Structure 1
Amino acid sequence: MVSLDRRRLLIALGGGLIAARSVHAQPVSADIAQRLADAEQGGRVFGLHALLVNQGGKLVFAHYEKGNDEARGRPLGEVAFAPDVLHDLRSVSKSIVGLAYGIALADGKVPPPEAKLYEQFPEYADLAGQPGRDRLTIHNVLSMTLGLQWDELSIPYGTPGNSEDAMDAAPDRFRYILEQPIVTEPGTKWTYCGGATALLGRLIAKGTGDDLPTYCRRVLFDPLQFGAFEWHRDRHGDPIAASGLRLLPPDLLKIGQLMLASGEWNGRRVVPADWIKRVTTPVVKIDAGRSYGYQWYMGDMSVGTPPQPDHWFGGIGWGGQRLYVVPARDVVTVIHCGNYNRSGMEQARVIRTIMSEAVLPNLASRT
């Protein structure tokens, strides 16, 4: 049992080992803090670095801890997380790239979803002429339904055979992606593919004349008044589109708020409203609980007794990085964890506990 004094301390700290600037003036925030503290004390939540929750456009809970971290595999040691400390997004980067593509599309700088993929890469004409490749479109890239041979999920990162590692090591990452054999009919099956996002980043750079980080800063980060950010690059100096972005946690929260507002920020149109709808519309089913749109996930969370489904869309990154938007509750949640060396099932279990036990039970539906 945890003593009363210890419990009060945990609540005051937001349930963390050290909390920086936790918000706990409101009853909702205090209840989230207590539920989070209970989950951490019970061993159901571990490795948490940051948890931020907006409802109705207002910050209702912000919690930061100390923990070991890394920057895309480079150890950083113990970090005291705070609003002004960068954190890896890992594959949540893909969702940011998906938004940037929509902005570039509205400006006529990148090809539309129906365009043929290989026609956009004339430098690889030898690949374009191979049988079946004329069937691939930008839609397949955006929705990860290319049908190419690719494996990032069953083969761990950092081991031979992992497709993303092989792409990173290739002399030409774009040729490596485009030369992969077609193993399923394009458009019929979702295959997790960082190579798809790399292609989107390349198309943005080709069409706009800016590299991906520069373009994102100009059309997305600056309009939302982001602070510092970093974007990891490969050994050739190319930005790693699929998993290389590091943001401040409050800035990632702004992305979720932008999504809730259909692409507007402080009365200014940043992302076309029809593109927000398109990226969050299911294209292909992943499994029983999730679908995929254009670089964004969506699904339902069951909360309460009896369980009631809450629809969400968002970004998912390795190690426990999440951006969740729950429209019915007008809620945006950012979660950062350092569980990079835990299994995917363990990571997902921690996230489910945070959302179903700590966050959503305290935030009533707004519809």
Structure 2
Amino acid sequence: MNLMTLTAVIAPLHLRSCLISLQGELKFEYYRNDSTATEIAKINSCTKSILSSLICIAMDQGLLPESSSKAAEFFPQLGRDTDKRKQEITIEHLLTLSAGFRWTEFGGQNSFPKMTRSPNWVKYVLEQPLAHDPGTHMEYNSGISQMLSAILVQASGISTAQFAEQFLFGPLGIEKYHWETDPQGIHTGGFGLQLRPNDLLKFGELFLHGGVWEKKQVISHKWVARSTAPVILAEPPRRGGYGWHWWTDSFPLTATDGGLPTAMDYYYARGYAGQYVYVLPEIEAVVVLTQDNKRGKNNPPVDVFREHIAPLLIQY
């Protein structure tokens, strides 16, 4: 990897941070200023992938049933709804954002802002009508993530943040964080978590190594593999697929000797305004990117990973 080239490319992009590890060794570390490395900052929807890992840990512990279990076991009102399809919504449908609720995160119905202005976020989500049969269509929906956080609280008997401290943050040595809550005190499942860049790198490394951290199995390999595998196509204009609150995609490689094109698969956590944790199992790499500069529709942010970092990684 030509680190001098990468530094020159990243400098004008005003990233907060860029960290790259290969085979467990930190190969590249960039911070906009000296304080960025130690300051916590919003990771926005990367929170969803953190929550997914907590759901997996709860399944490992037997606190939660298999992903095929019905969400109505935790929210009886789904079973009483006049739309009987709501009874068929499973935990996996929630994890893959394919429960079928009629929802527009921003714009149109503006569902997300309406939820955050409501007195009870989970109740607001549950009351939304279905636009699709469960499991047939992905619709980006942070309200569903709030349902999952509420499920974790029911199953564990403690808050989502307390569960994270005991079974994820603690093992990884993550000590500094902040996590927002809804009006009922349930920690936000789809956003609202603040972490340091290096702690995001630890999270990516945990998944790269099959749920093992410092020789301890934090998450079973079974759920690491299951949660990061594509289950459903991402909704346009987003590309790739979607797993259990993880995005999946591939990067094209040069043609093989036989002339057939090949690609390198990867999965990633993604948050608004440029927060990313990329995991590339084939080359044992983790990439963390954080930003805080917002750009309008007429000036979209550069896809730093695909345009600048991935081409260097595959040559390393």
TM > 0.5: yes
Counterpart Cα distance in 1 of 2:282 and 2:61: 31
The Cα of 1:34 is off from its aligned counterpart by 2.8
TM-score norm. by structure 1 comes to 0.78
CA contact (8 A) 1:49 1:81 kept: no
Q: Does 1:121 align with 2:75?
A: yes
Counterpart of 2:124? Answer: 176
The Cα of 1:31 is off from its aligned counterpart by 3.3
Counterpart Cα distance in 2 of 1:35 and 1:213: 37
Q: 1:345 to 1:143 in 2, by over 3 A?
A: farther
The Cα of 1:344 is off from its aligned counterpart by 9.6
Choose the corresponding residue for 1:57, options 24, 48, 73.
Answer: 24
What number of residue pairs does the alignment pair up? Answer: 310
Q: Which has the larger radius of gyration?
A: 1
Counterpart Cα distance in 2 of 1:99 and 1:130: 31
The Cα of 1:247 is off from its aligned counterpart by 0.5
CA contact (8 A) 1:119 1:128 kept: no
Q: Deviations over 1:221-263 (max 9, x none)?
A: 1101113011012344332111011001000001111111010
Counterpart of 1:197? Answer: 145
The Cα of 1:110 is off from its aligned counterpart by 1.8
Q: Deviations over 1:80-106 (max 9, x none)?
A: 642211111100000010010000011
**Aligned-CA RMSD value:** 2.4
Q: What code does the residue aligned with 1:280 have? A: T
* Residue aligned with 2:293, SS: coil
CA contact (8 A) 1:252 1:323 kept: yes
Counting only pairs closer than 5 Å after superposition, residues 61-140 of structure 1 correspond to structure 2 as 61-66=28-33, 81-122=35-76, 124=77, 127-128=80-81, 130-140=83-93
CA contact (8 A) 2:142 2:190 kept: yes
Counterpart Cα distance in 1 of 2:86 and 2:226: 25
CA contact (8 A) 2:167 2:218 kept: yes
Counterpart of 2:245? Answer: 295
TM-score norm. by structure 2 comes to 0.90
Q: Does 1:143 align with 2:96?
A: yes
What percentage of aligned pairs have identical amino acids?
27
Q: What code does the residue aligned with 1:279 have? A: S
Q: Does 1:346 align with 2:300?
A: yes
* Residue aligned with 2:171, SS: coil
List runs of 5+ in structure 2 lacking aligned partners. none
Counterpart of 1:36? Answer: 10
Counterpart of 1:278? Answer: 226
Counterpart of 1:314? Answer: 268
The Cα of 1:363 is off from its aligned counterpart by 2.6
Counterpart Cα distance in 2 of 1:250 and 1:125: 40
CA contact (8 A) 1:99 1:271 kept: yes
Counterpart Cα distance in 1 of 2:279 and 2:21: 10
Q: Deviations over 1:100-139 (max 9, x none)?
A: 00000111112321111122123x3674464322121111
Counterpart Cα distance in 1 of 2:190 and 2:100: 18
Q: What code does the residue aligned with 1:33 have? A: T
Q: Does 1:327 align with 2:281?
A: yes
CA contact (8 A) 2:106 2:113 kept: no
The Cα of 1:292 is off from its aligned counterpart by 0.4
Q: Deviations over 1:142-185 (max 9, x none)?
A: 11111111111444xxxxx3211111111221111111111111
Q: 1:309 to 1:343 in 2, by over 3 A?
A: farther
The Cα of 1:218 is off from its aligned counterpart by 0.8
Counting only pairs closer than 5 Å after superposition, residues 245-264 of structure 1 correspond to structure 2 as 245-264=193-212
Q: Deviations over 1:253-279 (max 9, x none)?
A: 011111110100111000011000111
* Residue aligned with 1:132, SS: helix
Q: 1:345 to 1:309 in 2, by over 3 A?
A: farther
